């Protein structure tokens, strides 16, 4: 099954993933704020971020943050309320946390006893890699070991104004990370 309707791997590696992980892992507990069912710290746009963020921000303003999930914790099956699309990069726990999509459950449906078992699609995060994330598909996270840190971008445009398919089309046209790709190609 194609995964493009659930997530899309951005073809540019992050140059700041280690900095983001260091920020997350050294931030004292009392500086983390409540954000939905998570704890989070904001990442200011002016912070040392990947070069293409400015272009993306100009096209689709957003706020960025790092969210954490403690070990042996899950975030149950859900569809985001307002977010039509997200952009995520896992900063650690690539082998001990799992992000799953359920292709069968749609918004507004309840899980019937006959549907308690079924197939899922896993987003197997890779280090230093961003993923466009379809927040309007049913998804869940299970974290088995150590605190999990995820850099996430939350667009100001809600799901009625910006959705996954729109942003995916822009990505495929290379509208906002084109300069970074060109720079990387010239450096090699």
Check whether 117 has a pLDDT greater than 90. Answer: no
CA 116, CA 96: separation in Å to the nearest integer?
Answer: 24
Q: Which of 55, 30, 75 is nearest to 174 (CA)?
A: 55
> Looking at 8-12, 26-30, 48-52, which range is the least confident one?
48-52
- State the Cα–Cα distance between residues 184 and 32, nearest whole angstrom: 34
User: How does residue 51 score in pLDDT terms, banded at 50, 70 and 90?
Assistant: confident
To which residue do tokens 């720079």 refer? Answer: 183
CA distances to 38, 121, 147, 188 from 16, rounded to whole Å, are 23, 28, 19, 19
The whole-number pLDDT of residue 47 equals 66
**Can you say whether the dihedral through the CA atoms of 128, 130, 135, 138 is positive or negative?**
negative
**Which residue ranges form the domains of the chain, and what is each CATH number?**
7-105+118-187 (2.60.120.10)
Query: For residue 2, what are its two tokens?
Result: 């194609």
Residue 36 banded pLDDT, cuts 50, 70, 90 = confident
Q: Which residues pair with 149 in a beta bridge?
A: 68
Tokens of 65: 């943050």
Tell me the per-residue pLDDT of 120-151, one tens digit each, with 9 for 90 and over: 999 999 999 999 999 999 999 999 999 999 99
pLDDT at residue 108 greater than cutoff 80: no
Q: Which residues contact 21 (CB under 8 A, 6 or more apart)?
A: 91, 92, 149
If pLDDT is split at 50, 70 and 90, which confidence band does 44 have? confident
85 pLDDT exceeds 70?
A: yes
Does residue 69 surpass a pLDDT of 90?
yes
């Amino acid at each position: 099954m194609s995964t493009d309707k659930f997530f899309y791997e951005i073809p540019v590696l992050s140059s700041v993933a280690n900095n983001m992980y260091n920020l997350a892992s050294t931030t004292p507990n009392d500086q983390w704020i409540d954000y939905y069912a998570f704890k989070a710290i904001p990442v200011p746009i002016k912070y040392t971020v990947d070069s293409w963020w400015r272009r993306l921000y100009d096209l689709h303003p957003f706020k960025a943050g790092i969210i954490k999930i403690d070990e042996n914790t899950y975030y149950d099956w859900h569809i985001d309320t307002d977010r039509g699309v997200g952009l995520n990069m896992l900063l650690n726990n690539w082998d001990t946390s799992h992000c799953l999509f359920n292709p069968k459950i749609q918004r507004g449906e309840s899980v019937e006893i006959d549907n308690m078992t079924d197939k899922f699609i896993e987003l197997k995060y890779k280090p230093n890699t961003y993923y466009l994330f379809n927040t309007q598909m049913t998804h869940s996270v299970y974290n088995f070991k150590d605190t999990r840190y995820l850099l996430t971008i939350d667009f100001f445009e809600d799901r009625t104004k910006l959705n996954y398919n729109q942003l995916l089309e822009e990505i495929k046209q290379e509208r906002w990370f084109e300069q970074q790709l060109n720079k990387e190609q010239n450096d090699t």
